Amino acid sequence: MYPKEMEKSVRKVEETRQERLKKLPERMTAEEREALLKKFHPDYRKGAKRKLKVGVSKGNMLPNEVADLIEAYPLIHPDEIDLSQIDYETDILIIGGGGAGTAAALWAYYNGVKPENIIIATKLRHGDANTMMAQGGIQAADKPNDSPAIHYLDVIGGGHYANKPELVARLVLDAPLIIKWHEELGIMYDKKPDGEMITVHGGGTSRKRMHSAKDYTGMEIMRVLRDEARNVGITTLEFSPAIELLMDEEGKVAGAVLFNMETEQYYVVKAKATIMATGGFGRLHIQGFPTTNHYGATADGLVMAYRAGARLRDMDSVQYHPTGAAYPEQILGLLVTEKVRSLGGQPVNVDGEQFVHPLEPRDVEASAFIRECYERNKCVVTPTGMRGIWLDSPMIEMIHGKGTIERRLGAMFRMFKRFDIDMREEPILVFPTLHYQNGGIEIDKEARVLGKNGVIAGLFAAGEVEGGVHGKNRLMGNSLLDTQVFGRAAGINAAKYVKKAKVGKLTLKHVKNYIDELKKAKIKEERKSPMLLPDYRGEKAVARMIDIF
Amino acid sequence: MAKKKKIDESKKMVRIYIMGKEYLVPAGLTIMKAMEYAGYRYIRGAGCRAGFCGACATVYRKLGDYKLHANLACQTTVEDGMYLVQLPFVPANKATYDMEKIKPDENVILEYYPEVARCVSCNTCTKACPQSLEVMDYIQAALRGDIKKVAELSFDCIQCGLCAIRCPAEIAHYHVGQLARRIYGKYMMARAKHLEERVKEIEAGKFDDEIKKLMKMSVAKLKELYNKREIEGEAMESG
């Protein structure tokens, strides 16, 4: 049920529904897309980005919120950490317990590293990650009318040709291998009785290659990977985020300093190889946007790797998902999966009119929503002043039959039903929300992190923290795939690497050097990073807080 | 009772009790946001903040209501007079198993989780489930060896542990569901033949030349290919 004013608009949506079933708006031409993006995509807003003043990617444009964390001082001074006492000595340290980190752990294990020599250090619980929240699906070109080459073209076109070709090649060629591995682990993909994968389109795909497990795809993948990691006995340190990478005297990455958030002590982990799998920056609320991201998505890995010399790329582009919930207030910004549109839910304005093809690439789709709301003023306004576009979900059951929404969009149905909106009967209100870090630290196709002079020995990266795979815009279903493909690559290559690697004396000299550089650039000592967690405490409470205990 | 500040109706505040301590918070907030408003900063008790991860399992009672309610803090709106506490952790033993060696027969679940047989059909687990799953039904199905049913009924489980913490028979339902789903996915769902074939093609290098060509292609040429690429029919297949 919606407030009265909104209900009036719902009636208009209902009136045009039959007509809209017959025809979709034309897809835009390349020129139309370009013009729309320039005018309405938040990436093009003046003053939202700035040039980095320090480090190996000095001069790169970054969103201010991210630059603030990169141009910030360490949480503690390197001299305050005693590196002579090592708490954990291991072959592989994986920083981050999401989809990429857990896939890396399993593939390192398959490639001969003993489970007791693999440590996953994670800030929250194992599996508290954006992987868990990925609803729509995972792409893989495994149908006869599809091929990795066609997938390649979709990825690079969607990414505005900025992607790193060797990474795209790996992504699309390994995709079917990943789905096969998942099948063997027992992940319950949506299938027809004969085993054929049920696949749909995503924004910007030219073939139906979106594999799903209802709209709990990421959750199903994550909980199975985690179950398997527990079965094989991989060590997991929860609530123990890394706060700084360690290096040895030769400049190899050699582990990390962890922080036990509950007892507030630090641990020194000495590792032959370190895999960065910390995810992205979604909780930085770039340009004040609400977010679909989990609580810990604060770009910690980006900050630590940068201090250790990792190059950044494509950090100037941010992904806003076209459909974040805009009503009710309690779920503001939370993800409404693209699958709602894949299954036939159309975006319509306050008068029930179509204004954009439902499955344009995400940046284009989001920009069209912003145009409809802020230039054409054809949006719905909620009682708290939020603007939004209707996503006409009842169409799904008109196309696919009754019961489809509960069966294939169970999570969405449940989320809205909790707040008394039945998406089978009424449309849902959406608006773009901060979703994904398109760029990140640069890797090669073996998931090795690159610095000023090529590979940084001992450091690998996988998942949202790395950049280059998606160029300037990621397509739906390629982020889960990225975590798995590059998690696997990182695990395999780290396993190879540790067979020969030797670690020298541990040092935090790189952090000291970074402090010097910050000082030289006249950056004031007022910001510290990594952030670890956002702070959502009420202003009134914070104003009265005293630090005496 | 001590003197209470009056609730300012214009600001629509509600009175909640976090672990017994009273706080005034704006009406309409989720429990999660209300606790933050009151001054709590989560380390445990918050994860995805969107109903997918099960980190914020919360139990509460309401004034004048004997029932112990259970729900997710991120998906539940505060109500006046709510007494609440979050579960930071649920201790529950997970069996370890080798999926390659496991026998997918009707006794397999009982072999790893014999306590399933202690189920007294009280339905407390079902009542506690924030996802409104038929938890007791899937435990009963597990008892009968109906793995498919367990897999299907438990599929939307977010593993928050509220069932396990409430169960008088001390079953860890969500681990039972996990095992059943993996057995069902691995051994009982038909394998995708098109997938197997594609993997063979990739391993034989069938696409390598074409991909290499694309990798070397100029942006202008890529653009041309992309802009005129054929898009598979819009007609949506039946659900």
Is A399 within the bounds of a domain? Answer: yes
Is residue B11 predicted with pLDDT exceeding 80?
no
* DSSP characters over A360-390: S-HHHHHHHHHHHHHTS---EE-TTS-EEEE
CB contact under 8 A, A161 and B219: yes
Residue with token string 């918050």: B46
State whether B74 and B117 are in the same domain.
no
Q: What is the pLDDT of residue A1?
A: 84
| Shared-domain flag, residues A236 and A348 | no
Residues A238 and A288 both lie in one domain: yes
User: Does the beta-carbon distance from A132 to B47 stay under 8 Å?
Assistant: yes
pLDDT level of residue B6 (50, 70, 90 thresholds): low
Give the span between the Cα atoms of A470 and A156, in whole angstroms: 7
For testing contact with chain A, the best of B11, B53, B131, B149 (most A CBs within 10 A): B53
Same domain, B76 and B144: no
B18 assigned to some structural domain: yes
Q: Do B52 and A216 touch (CB under 8 A)?
A: yes
User: Could you tell me which residue, B6 or A259, shows the higher pLDDT?
Assistant: A259
Tokens 């003053």 belong to A47
What CATH number has the domain bearing residue B130? Answer: 1.10.1060.10
Average pLDDT, chain B: 93
Tell me whether residue B149 is in a domain: yes
Give the residue from B49, B133, B216, B219 with the most A CB atoms within 10 Å of its CB, the best one to mutate: B49
A510 catalytic residue (yes or no): no
Alpha-carbon distance of A95 to B186, in angstroms, equals 29
B131 in the same domain as B62: no
Q: Does B70 fall in a domain?
A: yes
| Of the listed ranges A43-47, B4-8, B42-46, B106-110, the one predicted with least confidence | B4-8
- Tell me: do B200 and B166 sit in the same domain: no
Say what the pTM is.
0.96
Calpha distance A151→A147 (Å, rounded): 6
Please report residues of A whose CB lies closer than 8 A to that of B23: none
Q: Which domain holds residue B180?
A: 108-188
Query: Does the residue A101 lie in any domain?
Result: yes
On the question of pLDDT at B8 being above 90, the answer is no
Asked if the Cβ–Cβ distance from A201 to B36 is below 8 Å, we say no
CA distance A64 to A284: 10
Is there a domain that residue B239 lies in?
A: no
Mutation pick from A201, A210, A223 vs chain B, by most beta carbons of B within 10 Å, is A223
CB contact under 8 A, B230 and A331: no
> B149 and B125, same structural domain?
yes
B127 and B184 together in one domain? yes
How confident is the model at residue B5, as a pLDDT?
52
**Cβ proximity of B81 and B22 under 8 Å:** no
Q: Is there a single domain that holds both residue A359 and residue A481? A: no
Q: What type of residue sits at position B142?
A: A
CA distance A190 to A167: 28
Torsion angle in degrees (nearest 10) through CA of B140, B142, B145, B147: 120
* Domain span at A463: 73-133+215-317+438-509
d(CA A358, CA A342): 8
ipTM: 0.95
Name the token pair of A79: 């001299």
Distance of CA A248 to the CA centre of its chain: 31
Q: Is A188 on the interface with B (CB under 8 A)?
A: yes
Provide, as residue numbers in chain B, all residues whose Cβ is less than 8 Å from the Cβ of A133.
48, 50, 52-53
Q: Is residue A465 part of a domain?
A: yes
Within this chain, do residues A267 and A331 fall inside the same structural domain, yes or no? no
Q: B195–A133: do the CB atoms touch at under 8 Å?
A: no
Are B54 and B118 in a shared domain? Answer: no
**Domain for residue A164, yes or no?**
no
Look at residue B146 and tell me if it is in a domain: yes
Residue A358 and residue A465 in one domain: no
Q: Do A347 and A361 fall within a single domain?
A: yes
For residue B109, give how far its alpha carbon lies from the nearest alpha carbon of chain A (Å).
Answer: 15
- Asked whether residue A410 falls in the same domain as residue A331, the answer is yes
Does residue A393 lie within any of the structural domains?
A: yes
Same domain, A248 and A339: no
pLDDT value of position B183: 98
CA-based nearest residue to A375, from A10, A48, A41: A41
Same domain for B124 and B171? Answer: yes
| pLDDT at position A430 | 98
User: Would you call A341 a catalytic residue per the annotation?
Assistant: yes
Number of domains in chain B: 3
Q: How many CA atoms lie within 13 A of A96 on its CB side?
A: 35
Residue B238: per-residue pLDDT: 33
The whole-number pLDDT of residue B9 equals: 47
Same domain, A488 and A389: no
Query: Residue ranges of the alpha helices (H) in chain B?
Result: 31-37, 108-112, 124-128, 135-144, 147-154, 162-166, 173-183, 193-203, 208-216, 219-227
pLDDT over 50 at B239, yes or no: no
Closest residue, chain B, to A344 (C-alpha) = B236
How much is the average pLDDT of B208-229?
Answer: 97
Pair B183, B202 in one domain? no
Taking the Cβ of residue A411 and every Cβ of chain B, the question of whether any pair is shorter than 8 Å is answered with: yes
In this structure, are A332 and A416 located in the same domain?
Answer: yes
In-domain check, residue B98: no
In chain A, residues 56-85 whose CB comes closer than 8 Å to chain B: none
Residue B234 confidence (pLDDT) above 90: no
B75 CB-contact burial (10 Å; exposed 0-12 / middle 13-18 / buried 19+): buried
Same domain, A108 and A238: yes
Q: And the tokens for A379? A: 């949006």
Question: CB-based contacts of A122: which residues, under 8 Å, 6+ apart?
Answer: A95, A96, A97, A98, A101, A128, A236, A237, A238, A239, A240, A241
Residues of chain A with pLDDT under 50: none
Q: Please count the structural domains in chain A.
A: 2
Locate the chain A residue with the closest alpha carbon to B183.
Answer: A186
Instruction: Outline where A115-211 has alpha helix (H).
Output: 130-133, 148-158, 165-185
- Which of A36, A379, A395, A343 has its CA nearest to residue A198? A343
At residue A408, the pLDDT reads: 94
Is residue B230 situated within a structural domain?
no
Instruction: Write out chain A residues lying below 8 Å of B41, CB-based.
Output: 533, 535-537
Same domain, A267 and A365: no
Whether chain B has a CB inside 8 Å of the CB on A172: the answer is yes
Domain membership of residue A15 (yes or no) is yes
**Cα separation of A123 and A399, whole Å?**
43
Domain CATH for A29: 3.90.700.10
CATH number at residue B24: 3.10.20.30
Q: Which residues of A192-207 are buried (b: 16+ CB within 10 A; e: fewer)?
A: eeebebbbbbbbbbbb
DSSP for A224-255, written as a single string: HHHHHHHHHT-EEETT--EEEEEEETTS-EEE
- Choose the closest CB to B190 out of A127, A149, A193: A193
Q: Report yes or no: A121 and A502 within 8 Å, Cβ to Cβ.
A: no
| CATH code, domain with A94 | 3.50.50.60
Same domain, B124 and B141: yes
Residue B77: inside a domain, yes or no? yes
The answer to whether residue A446 is domain-embedded is yes
Same domain, B64 and B27: yes
* A295 vs B: CB within 8 A: yes
CA angle (B117, B121, B126) in 5-degree steps: 110
* CB contact (8 A) between residue B185 and residue A214: no
